[in-house]
A and B are shown apart, each in its own frame.
Chain A
């Protein structure tokens, strides 16, 4: 391939055979925008530069960065990997769920999350259940990547099946606390392999003495617990409201179920007002000694929009 500059126009000629992967696209250095345009043009014209194989995309230029280290490539491409493809890890979440909220009250825990799975700014899936019942003592609420949530859901199902094999009449039933420990190990292991599960998770339920339990774990393996918890936008918008109601452990131990549910519903409304990736349909679960009461198709009520038609312009406008 050669590049010639003639009367302000670039003329490109291509070799008859497509370039092998990793070979230099340019023999002499080019600069600035002209280079970018040529590169884009090349991408469209030469299938070996831009193709359907992700591992061939965005390869740095050899003349600038030196020859590429092929170690991560498969054997067929001059590398040392056993597999057909180079190792690839989750780089960013794709389909996502937003906030999850939870609050402990005197006998149990309330947890909620809306039913939306967004694809970027597109509200793509509107009936996605993000609260998963594990057993009569534990519910898990997922925020973040939905495909990773589905993976974790299957992982928890198989864990539950294996736990059931013990057949001890429910004496060794996994508690929410056990489940949170398990999930935190999974999440921390995955981030340590630089291949995280892109989620922020709340585990709500009861501990081994049937006391209310709620705790957080995220894609980094970070864990913490508090009377009120929220992931994502909820941490900024819902936490202050919930903390006003439950400032400390003592307040949590005195809170009634009704007050806890009411507070969470109110927070879901605030989140719908102000979080652009949220929705007015949501799931809410209450876990106490009598088991899990989960409702998966709740609707926000008593929204306040009547004030809106009194607002005119952005300053001086009066009509």
Chain B
């Protein structure tokens, strides 16, 4: 890069219209542990490759995937404190939404607000862009939700302007980059192993219109496997798998964002390791031929 001063200050356009400071923030993200999100037929899975920097760190402590409101999860890759700040803001946004509308914030609205917030940090030279890419996954209630604080059943007619039997809500997944740009995804990956993870995600059947769209349980197993695959390139370092999920009200998490139960996670990890070993053997046998 020709250093002519266009990369020294945030919010400065280079002659070809780029904000170099934002691009440097992306570099910080690319160093972080791999984080992925999978949108399944009946829920969303979030998974994180948490690099273990010391044997003195307590196992299963220092959780990195955060909950926003009750039904939304956020996983991020990059600078950890920036992620904390992001989550804190997301929680405030969710609370403020409830204050106004007396109902949980839809995942799409949260993504929109957080996108706007992150983008604001590319507008001024007095601030620096977020050094994270965040994946937001959640479940919007598909049943009619009571207004917060409701005390009775109210009128028997139901709320106005609604067509009977119409279902809304479902699983949602968004990824927000340091520039503030965000899109909805079937499967999203960020961090060091994102290329390998994306290649694996593309092999999965994730289109909701497709009858074969994978289920939440399958998603959990795939998520664990993909994190293990993405870790292959930095095999020498230890890591912990952190995994959360959110399902419909009648699913395993009852519409809440929760940690994947220990037994299920360990089973998924066992399968992941097994599939990696199988791959290795396959390669070895090919080599021998």
Partner of A125, one of B67, B102, B151: B151
The answer to whether A149 touches B151 (Cβ under 8 A) is yes
- If over half of A's interface residues share one DSSP class (helix, strand or loop), that class is named, otherwise mixed; here it is helix
Residues of B within 8 A of A150 (CB): 149-151
Residues of A within 8 A of B69 (CB): 161
- Judged by a CB distance under 8 angstroms, whether B91 is at the interface is yes
Partner of A117, one of B63, B95, B149, B152: B152
The answer to whether A167 touches B148 (Cβ under 8 A) is no
The answer to whether A158 touches B152 (Cβ under 8 A) is no
- If over half of B's interface residues share one DSSP class (helix, strand or loop), that class is named, otherwise mixed; here it is loop
- Judged by a CB distance under 8 angstroms, whether B205 is at the interface is no
Cα separation A161 to B151 with both chains bound (whole Å): 19
Q: How many residues of B contact A (CB 8 A)?
A: 16
The answer to whether A125 touches B149 (Cβ under 8 A) is no
Chain B residue, CB-CB nearest to A165: B67
The answer to whether A165 touches B153 (Cβ under 8 A) is no
- Judged by a CB distance under 8 angstroms, whether B134 is at the interface is no
Please tell me the size bucket of the interface on A.
Answer: 20 to 34
The answer to whether A127 touches B152 (Cβ under 8 A) is yes
Residues of A within 8 A of B91 (CB): 162, 165
Residues of A within 8 A of B102 (CB): 154
Given A167-B63, A167-B67, residue A127 in contact with residue B153 (CB < 8 A)? yes
Residues of B within 8 A of A125 (CB): 151-152
Least Cβ–Cβ distance between B196 and chain A, in angstroms? 29
Partner of A153, one of B63, B66, B148, B259: B148
Residues of B within 8 A of A157 (CB): 98, 148-149
Cα separation A129 to B64 with both chains bound (whole Å): 38
Chain A residue, CB-CB nearest to B69: A161
- Judged by a CB distance under 8 angstroms, whether A151 is at the interface is yes
A-B contact pairs, 19 of them (CB 8 A): A117-B151, A125-B151, A126-B152, A128-B151, A128-B152, A129-B152, A130-B151, A146-B151, A150-B150, A151-B149, A153-B151, A157-B98, A157-B148, A157-B149, A158-B95, A158-B98, A161-B69, A165-B66, A167-B63
> Which B residues contact A (CB, under 8 angstroms)?
63, 66-67, 69-70, 91, 95, 98, 102, 148-153, 259
> Which A residues contact B (CB, under 8 angstroms)?
117, 125-130, 146, 149-151, 153-154, 157-158, 161-162, 164-165, 167
